[in-house]
Amino acid sequence: MIELPAPNPVTLARRANIAAAMRAVVPDGVIGDEATLTAFDCDALTAYRQRPLLCVLPANTDQVAAVLAYAARENIRIVPRGAGTSLSGGALPLADGILLGLSRMNRILDIDFENRCVVVQPGVTNASVTKAVQAAGFYYAPDPSSQIACTIGGNVAENSGGIHCLKYGLTTQNLMGVELVLMTGERLRLGGKHGGDGGLDLLSVVCGSEGLLGVVTEATLRILLRPPVTRTLLIAFDSVRAAGETVAAIIAGGIIPAALEFMDRRCIATVEAFCAPGYPPDAEAILIAEIDGVPAEVGDDAARIDQIARGLGATELRTCASEAERTCVWSGRKAAFGAMGRLEPDMLCMDGTIPRRALPDVLDRISALSDQYGLVCCNVFHAGDGNLHPLIVFDCMRAGELERAEAFGADILKLCVAVGGVLTGEHGVGVEKKGLMGEMFSDADLAQQEKLKCAFDGMGLLNPGKVFPTLHACVELGRMHVHDGRMPFGNLPRM
């Protein structure tokens, strides 16, 4: 089970005063009644729930700055939230914290084709960025499967990826600048429309910082011209191993498809029953490969993928003949997480990334762990990046199942680290994986990361209880002594 920082009783007792102060700042955007607050009690990691102290929905950057400055003065914790689609519990509220919802800040501020960028507020959804520029032939490349709901602020905080990140990169490769409000209410501008920047690369630090360093109130995003040709292939295999080997061989052959996605038999059947994308019913595994570029390059890559896949035992290879067919194939992949609701009411989505050559062995091991824990696990993932998403389905209401699912998930992530991979490819650490950070980072690594956090948020008020396994107050970092079981500086708030 996850642990959140103990609520501050002083803050809890002052709830009515804090609500009044927040109404003075955001008159039309404070939610305080318990019934409505319940709607905000979890993100997409629904196994963990906590009603926030209050929910505040600012409409502009001045209001964000005023809320944060007030919270810093009054020692109140803040949890930023976009659309609440985090799969790692990054936007899970705190009982004594203000949930700062950025969804009202949803304007596209500037579309600049000359500089190939778009400037947006943080509550703009990922899909709206492409929608705003597609008539001119442009698009925004990072495309999480949650893209119709998730916000750019959340994408920046999680360094989100998606199906097309193999070739075009994650958010960090497509982010040119941000405006960031610090806990003090001060504003920073990092990067911008220009290329390059002086000073330390703080933009890269902020991207993926999971709401721990500041609140993103504006983002400048790189947009790309749609390639002239896109071809989508659906390749079936009669073994998971053959599909895994094909992924490794395609990349080793020097081909970088725009997307290279994997699904196993159980996932194929569940998705098929959910939205009928027409996947081969008898396949043990499928790959969806998408290649784009100029016609000659696409034709050549498609022929080589065909040759590699058939050489490694592909049983069927289809090329989508129309845009409608392509949309249909992708609709199944994008609906895969939601389709798991047909199997069980609850799901943990793991997010480890491994070196591609380890794919076949790791998939075999996950299957053995599934038997060992007696829990169903479906595999659907960004195979080209080695970014696994084992979906463990279970029912929280059955005694002990959540704990078993957590232990199963932890074993998968430890396995990813053991084969040379990492705990998270794109979903962030949040509350879900913070207990496993020690598997990947030394004490010195973690202390250094926490010191960076302190440089942005010295009081540890921004999204505490996420990412770091241990709560430290900034003043004690690097000299932590516990005497008679008592922590030093017990009166100070801890991150």
Q: Which residues here bind ligand FAD, judged by CB under 6 A?
A: 43-44, 79-87, 90-91, 102, 122, 144-146, 150-151, 153-155, 157-158, 160-162, 210-211, 215-216, 337-338, 426-427, 463
CB of 354 to ligand FAD, least distance (A): 17
CB of 238 to ligand FAD, least distance (A): 27
Dist. CA 140–CA 318, nearest whole Å: 27
CB of 327 to ligand FAD, least distance (A): 17
Q: Which is nearer to ligand FAD, 247 or 431 (CB)?
A: 431
Residue for token pair 């994008």: 334
Q: Which is nearer to ligand FAD, 161 or 360 (CB)?
A: 161
Q: Which is nearer to ligand FAD, 32 or 464 (CB)?
A: 464
Q: Which is nearer to ligand FAD, 91 or 190 (CB)?
A: 91
CB-based contact 459:478 (threshold 8 Å): no
C-alpha dihedral sign at 3, 9, 10, 11: positive
Amino acid letter, 322: S
Q: Which is nearer to ligand FAD, 160 or 220 (CB)?
A: 160
Q: Which is nearer to ligand FAD, 160 or 174 (CB)?
A: 160
CB of 334 to ligand FAD, least distance (A): 8
Q: Which is nearer to ligand FAD, 314 or 493 (CB)?
A: 493
Dist. CA 122–CA 103, nearest whole Å: 7
CB of 126 to ligand FAD, least distance (A): 7
CB-based contact 316:279 (threshold 8 Å): no
Q: Which is nearer to ligand FAD, 58 or 244 (CB)?
A: 58
CB of 280 to ligand FAD, least distance (A): 23
CB-based contact 142:165 (threshold 8 Å): yes
- Would you state the torsion angle of the CA atoms of residues 367, 372, 373, 379, taken in this order, to the nearest 10 degrees? 0
How far from 356 is each of 237, 313, 359, 416, 421, CA to CA, in Å? 18, 18, 5, 11, 9
CB-based contact 159:378 (threshold 8 Å): no
CB of 399 to ligand FAD, least distance (A): 26
Task: Please list, residue by residue across 188-209, b when 16 or more beta carbons sit within 10 angstroms of its beta carbon and e when fewer do.
Answer: eebbbeeeeeeeeebbeebbbb
- Provide the H-helix boundaries in 148-239: 152-158, 165-168, 171-174, 202-206
CB of 265 to ligand FAD, least distance (A): 21
Which residues, in sequence order, are CB contacts of 247 under 8 Å at separation 6+?
260, 262, 287, 356, 359, 383, 384
